[in-house]
């Protein structure tokens, strides 16, 4: 096995660790998509079903004579005069000057850019039939010309030149998008406490720092934290700070928290956007998260008439719609990594997100009041998994929230 093949396996293992065990297709003893080259050369690359459809890493095309690269949401493959340009969360792509459509979307997990298998199984054989043919029964992609085959040895161990390193591409000019991460509570405001003494403010900060590290890898994102250490920051100032940072650019605000329930067996995760509370549980969560207003803040209580006025004014903007959508995307993203129940999207008059004039949500990543979830919240693996899931949710949301979009222009998925 070559070093390049080892890296492919490592990527696949990392992806499995992130999103759970994906479905795979097995063919003739090889897990994944088999590539068949001239003179019987073989290679096998990961074939995964992270999102319910077959996908392969974009760099698998290096075996097929292509130079590939990806930056943030953009992926590219070149061979000779042919250039393929793809974008995460968008099924439309360019083949040279032609605009074509995949049945499913490319996406990114960590450092790996994944493309639907259809790109290799349909488009390559159809548009370059002299070089490629796809066999659906195995499945395998056969390469006819020796000059097209990138490394004729990956799976069979027959020797051959090493695979070239991944190419880099320059992202298209785009408006920088802002993400403001708000680790809840802090300083004299410890937030909720677990049965074993774990503090909400500590969990929120750890996940917030990890999420910032994940998002800072995207060159098209500008990432800020309302706090990066254990200090008190009045609730009323957090949204204002985020609004000032964002300025006129597109941006979002994510406030991180851990829940506490009257029932000690309460479990799961839920995401809130700003609106009137409708249920006893939503009123209770609002009261808990707004309790810090009484520590030191311009507003004494959540019943202050000034807050009600702001809430009414905010409904005249389309932030509420986008906040609801962001909450949905966050819930979908957390579902694969959280063992507790998905408690769904909620709404409440939460002071911390009131002054954030942008799509804003408050994420309750688990119940610190539950002994089992308190232990889970304290583990580094779970904190990292939540951060990765939230970073992917940010990517997916921005794919549906381009600059200049309006609430009325949203296309449901």
In a domain, 281, yes or no: yes
Residue 111 confidence (pLDDT): 80
Q: Quote the distance between the C-alpha of residue 215 and its chain's center.
A: 9
In a domain, 273, yes or no: yes
CA–CA separation, 35 and 32 (whole Å): 10
Domain that holds residue 120: 3-143
Out of 143, 164, 193, pick the residue that ends a domain.
143
Q: What is the pLDDT of residues 344-361, one digit of tens each?
A: 999 888 888 888 889 999
> CATH no. for residue 349?
3.40.630.40
Q: What is the pLDDT of residues 177-213, one digit of tens each?
A: 999 999 999 999 999 999 999 999 999 999 999 999 9
Q: Domain check: are 131 and 197 in the same one?
A: no
In a domain, 154, yes or no: no
Query: Based on C-alpha coordinates, what's the Rg of the chain?
Result: 24
Q: Domain check: are 91 and 192 in the same one?
A: no
Q: Domain check: are 191 and 256 in the same one?
A: yes
Residue 154: CB atoms within 10 A of its CB come to 24
In a domain, 381, yes or no: yes
This prediction's pTM: 0.55
Q: Is the pLDDT of residue 253 over 60?
A: yes
Q: Number of folded domains in the chain?
A: 2
Q: Domain check: are 273 and 388 in the same one?
A: yes
Spell out the residues 6+ positions from residue 40 whose beta carbon is closer than 8 angstroms to its own.
156, 158
In a domain, 187, yes or no: yes
Q: What is the pLDDT of residues 274-327, one digit of tens each?
A: 876 566 665 666 566 555 555 444 333 334 445 545 554 544 355 788 899 999
Indicate the angle between helix axes 200-215 and 380-399, nearest 10 degrees: 50
Of residues 17 and 254, the one with the higher pLDDT is: 254
Residue 49 confidence (pLDDT): 85
In a domain, 258, yes or no: yes
Contact 338, 268 (CB under 8 A): yes
Residue 218 confidence (pLDDT): 81
> CATH no. for residue 35?
3.30.457.10
CA–CA separation, 341 and 206 (whole Å): 22
CA–CA separation, 249 and 246 (whole Å): 6
Q: Domain check: are 245 and 370 in the same one?
A: yes
Q: Domain check: are 187 and 134 in the same one?
A: no
Q: Domain check: are 218 and 347 in the same one?
A: yes
Q: Which of 50-54, 65-69, 256-260 has the highest mean pLDDT?
A: 256-260
In a domain, 413, yes or no: no
Q: Domain check: are 400 and 269 in the same one?
A: yes
Out of 87, 119, 143, pick the residue that ends a domain.
143
Contact 208, 186 (CB under 8 A): no
Q: What is the pLDDT of residues 359-391, one digit of tens each?
A: 999 999 999 999 999 999 999 999 999 999 999
In a domain, 153, yes or no: no
CA–CA separation, 343 and 364 (whole Å): 10
Record the tokens describing residue 256, joined without a space: 């991180």
């Amino acid at each position: 096995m070559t070093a390049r093949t080892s890296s492919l396996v490592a990527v696949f293992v990392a992806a499995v660790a992130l999103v759970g065990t994906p479905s795979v297709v097995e063919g003739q003893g090889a897990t994944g998509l088999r590539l068949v080259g001239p003179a019987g050369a073989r290679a096998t690359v990961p074939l995964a079903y992270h999102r319910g459809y077959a996908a392969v890493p974009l760099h698998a095309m290096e075996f097929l004579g292509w130079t590939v690269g990806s930056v943030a949401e953009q992926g590219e493959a070149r061979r000779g005069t042919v250039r393929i340009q793809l974008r995460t969360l968008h099924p439309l792509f360019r083949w040279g000057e032609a605009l074509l459509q995949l049945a499913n979307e490319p996406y990114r997990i960590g450092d790996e850019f994944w493309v639907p298998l259809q790109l290799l199984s349909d488009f390559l054989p159809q548009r370059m039939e002299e070089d490629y043919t796809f066999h659906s029964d195995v499945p395998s992609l056969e390469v006819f010309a020796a000059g097209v085959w990138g490394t004729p040895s990956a799976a069979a161990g027959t020797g051959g030149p090493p695979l070239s390193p991944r190419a880099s591409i320059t992202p298209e000019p785009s408006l920088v998008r802002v993400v403001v991460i708000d680790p809840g509570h802090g300083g004299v405001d410890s937030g909720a406490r677990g049965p074993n003494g774990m503090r909400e403010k500590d969990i929120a900060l750890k996940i917030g720092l990890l999420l910032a590290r994940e998002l800072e890898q995207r060159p098209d994102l500008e990432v800020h934290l309302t706090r990066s250490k254990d200090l008190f920051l009045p609730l009323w100032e957090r949204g204002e700070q985020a609004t000032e940072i964002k300025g006129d650019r597109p941006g979002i605000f994510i406030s991180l928290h851990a829940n506490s329930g009257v029932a000690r067996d309460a479990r799961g995760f839920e995401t809130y956007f700003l609106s009137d509370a409708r249920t006893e549980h939503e009123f209770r969560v609002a009261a808990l998260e707004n309790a810090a207003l009484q520590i030191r803040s311009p507003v004494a209580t959540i019943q202050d008439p000034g807050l009600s006025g702001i809430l009414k004014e905010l409904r005249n903007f389309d932030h509420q719609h986008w906040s609801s959508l962001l909450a949905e995307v966050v819930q979908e993203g957390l579902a694969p990594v959280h063992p507790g129940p998905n408690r769904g999207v909620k709404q409440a008059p939460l002071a911390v997100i009131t002054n954030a004039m942008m799509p804003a949500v408050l994420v309750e990543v688990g119940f610190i009041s539950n002994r089992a979830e308190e232990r889970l919240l304290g583990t580094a693996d779970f904190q990292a998994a939540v951060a990765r899931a939230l970073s992917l949710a940010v990517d997916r949301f921005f794919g549906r929230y381009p600059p200049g979009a309006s609430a009325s222009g949203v296309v449901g998925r």
